[in-house]
Structure 1
Amino acid sequence: MIKFKLEGEFIPLIALLKATDLVQSGGEAQTVVEDGLVKYNGEVDYRKRLKVRIGDKIDFMGNIVEVI
């Protein structure tokens, strides 16, 4: 599990995927979200601009990111 310390109120899902090095670019992040490969708190979510906040968990291909 990857623990990501949030500095502000939220981080966009695509930015979080890039910040945790789960994807290499913003374009790749958009594609994996559009393809339904990302789960937000246990459910597939297709929103690229989703605001991820403290306490949320993101699952991408078995890599779980917990926002703290």
Structure 2
Amino acid sequence: MKIISISSEYIKLDQFLKLADCVPTGGMAKAIIQDGAVKVNREPEERRGRKLYPGDIVEVAGEGSFQVSGK
């Protein structure tokens, strides 16, 4: 599992996917989220605006698992 640090209180899911280098663009983030390839805390997530907080775990099909970490 990779640890991804954020400097704010939360980060939106689509922004997180770009920060974690899972996708190069927001459009691609939207596509993989809509395809059901993303889980947040083991639950399928289809909202690209989902707020992620430190401690949340994001699983991306074909990319692995990532944990959100605070400052």
Alignment of 1:29-40 (within 5 A): 29-40=29-40
Map of 1:11 onto structure 2: 11
* Poorly superposed stretches of 4+, deviation over 2 Å: none
Alignment of 1:1-68 (within 5 A): 1-62=1-62, 63-68=64-69
Structure 1 position 6, deviation (Å): 1.7
Provide TM-score, normalisation by structure 1.
0.94
Structural RMSD (CA) = 0.9
Give ranges in structure 2 of 5+ residues lacking alignment: none
Identity across the alignment (%): 34
Give ranges in structure 1 of 5+ residues lacking alignment: none
Equivalent residues, number: 68
